[in-house]
Amino acid sequence: MDNNKELTNKKNMPTDVVTIVGVGLISGSFALALKEKGFAKKIIGVSRTAASLKKAKELGIIDEALPLEEAVKQSDFIYVAIPVDATVPVMKQVMDLITDKQMVADAGSTKFALCDAVKDHPMRRRFIATHPMWGTEYSGPEAAVRGAFEGRACVICEKEKTDVGVVDTIENIYKSLGMNIVYMDAHAHDIHAAYISHISHITSFALANTVLEKEREDDAIFALAGGGFESTVRLAKSNSAMWAPIFMQNRENVLDVLNEHISQLKKFKASLEKENMEYLTELMENANRIKRIFK
């Protein structure tokens, strides 16, 4: 029987035992949701640090901590949510271990490098590339929250390269968590992510560094900082171990967006240098059009 046709009739493949590789913000929140929605009876955690595994168990995120190979062998579903530079080698390890009865998904913020790296793997059709578009500036098991994904978008890339049963099950899980599914190819995803996510983080890091540099001269800056400033630099608290690899892996797209951002900053600078109130107002009114998208 054709494998795809057989799997089509199994809308919900078994997910009783789930391994999360990485026990941080995304995977931890995902694990809590899987338990809450009845998709997992047991969650196994895999991490490079014993302290993270201990904390994840204390918080009820995982039921057991195991080495990768042992965890994969026991699992129906393996969910990889680790820094993107580590995802490719770890994903290859996972896919070398699975059978055609198991499924694997990732939650990374970049997609092209990973999809390209596994495109010829014999178990490629048991893997689905996903990116739940949610996150905070916090990291580690302590950062995991309940109800994290409600009302958010989840991007699925290269759907056609994954077995139908795997796609159906993962879509069902994400939809049950309240997410809206968006389909893209991996290259398009990375371009869009650079514009809506990656540039926001770089801008926040840069602004925080700007103010920290100035604060050396003027202690009053933070005393005067209000909610607007705090919300603007909130992302600067994000974990560099996660974001530096994202910027590097999506380097070309991030540079393209960064060049445009710098161009826009120069326009504001020029309007001030030339005391051009009309141009300054025009720039801000043009930016106001974002209200159509974010009301």
Return the HEC string of the chain.
CCHHHHHHCCCCCCCCEEEEECCCHHHHHHHHHHHHCCCCCEEEEECCCHHHHHHHHHCCCCCEECCHHHHHHHCCEEEECCCHHHHHHHHHHHHHHCCCCCEEEECCCCCHHHHHHHCCCCCHHHEEEEEECCCCCCCCHHHCCCCCCCCCEEEEECHHHCCHHHHHHHHHHHHHCCCEEEEECHHHHHHHHHHHHHHHHHHHHHHHHHHHHHHCCCCHHHHHCCHHHHHHHHHHHCCHHHHHHHHHHCHHHHHHHHHHHHHHHHHHHHHHHCCCHHHHHHHHHHHHHHHHCCC
pLDDT digits (tens, 9 = 90+) for 89-105: 999 999 999 999 999 99
Mean pLDDT value of segment 224-228:
68
> What is the predicted pLDDT for the residue at 211?
85
What is the pLDDT confidence band of residue 22, given thresholds at 50, 70 and 90?
very high
Judge if 34 and 90 occupy the same domain: yes
> What is the predicted pLDDT for the residue at 1?
35
Judge if 139 and 202 occupy the same domain: no
Spatial strand order in the sheet of 42-46: 64-65, 42-46, 17-21, 77-80, 103-106, 127-132, 153-157, 180-184
Judge if 40 and 116 occupy the same domain: yes
What is the pLDDT confidence band of residue 11, given thresholds at 50, 70 and 90?
low
Write down which residue in 158, 184, 210 finishes a domain: 184
Cα separation, 216 vs 56, in Å, equals 38
Judge if 151 and 224 occupy the same domain: no
pLDDT for residue 8 is more than 60: no
Q: Which amino acid is at 59?
A: L
Q: Which of 196, 202, 199 is nearest to 240 (CA)?
A: 202
Judge if 158 and 214 occupy the same domain: no
Judge if 24 and 146 occupy the same domain: yes
pLDDT for residue 5 is more than 50: no
Judge if 240 and 264 occupy the same domain: yes
Judge if 8 and 153 occupy the same domain: yes
Judge if 216 and 120 occupy the same domain: no
> What is the predicted pLDDT for the residue at 4?
41
pTM over the 0.85 mark = yes
Would you tell me how many other CB atoms lie within 10 Å of the CB of residue 117?
14
By mean pLDDT, which of 177-181, 221-225, 245-249 is the weakest? 221-225
> What is the predicted pLDDT for the residue at 3?
41
> What average pLDDT does the structure give for the chain?
92
What's the CATH code of the domain at 47?
3.40.50.720
Mean pLDDT value of segment 203-207:
94
Q: What count of Cα atoms within 13 Å lies in the side-chain half-sphere of residue 156?
A: 23
Judge if 176 and 196 occupy the same domain: no
Residues 153 and 180: beta-carbon distance below 8 Å: yes
Write down which residue in 121, 149, 184 finishes a domain: 184
pLDDT for residue 44 is more than 50: yes
What's the CATH code of the domain at 257?
1.10.3660.10
What domain range is 72 assigned to?
Answer: 3-184
pLDDT for residue 227 is more than 80: no
What is the pLDDT confidence band of residue 222, given thresholds at 50, 70 and 90?
low
Judge if 164 and 179 occupy the same domain: yes
Judge if 141 and 222 occupy the same domain: no
pLDDT digits (tens, 9 = 90+) for 123-169: 999 999 999 999 988 899 999 999 999 999 999 999 999 999 999 99
> What is the predicted pLDDT for the residue at 292?
85
By mean pLDDT, which of 100-114, 147-161, 220-234 is the weakest? 220-234
Write down which residue in 169, 184, 199 finishes a domain: 184
Q: What count of Cα atoms within 13 Å lies in the side-chain half-sphere of residue 61?
A: 32
Domain count, the chain: 2
Mean pLDDT value of segment 275-287:
96
> What is the predicted pLDDT for the residue at 290?
87
> What is the predicted pLDDT for the residue at 226?
64
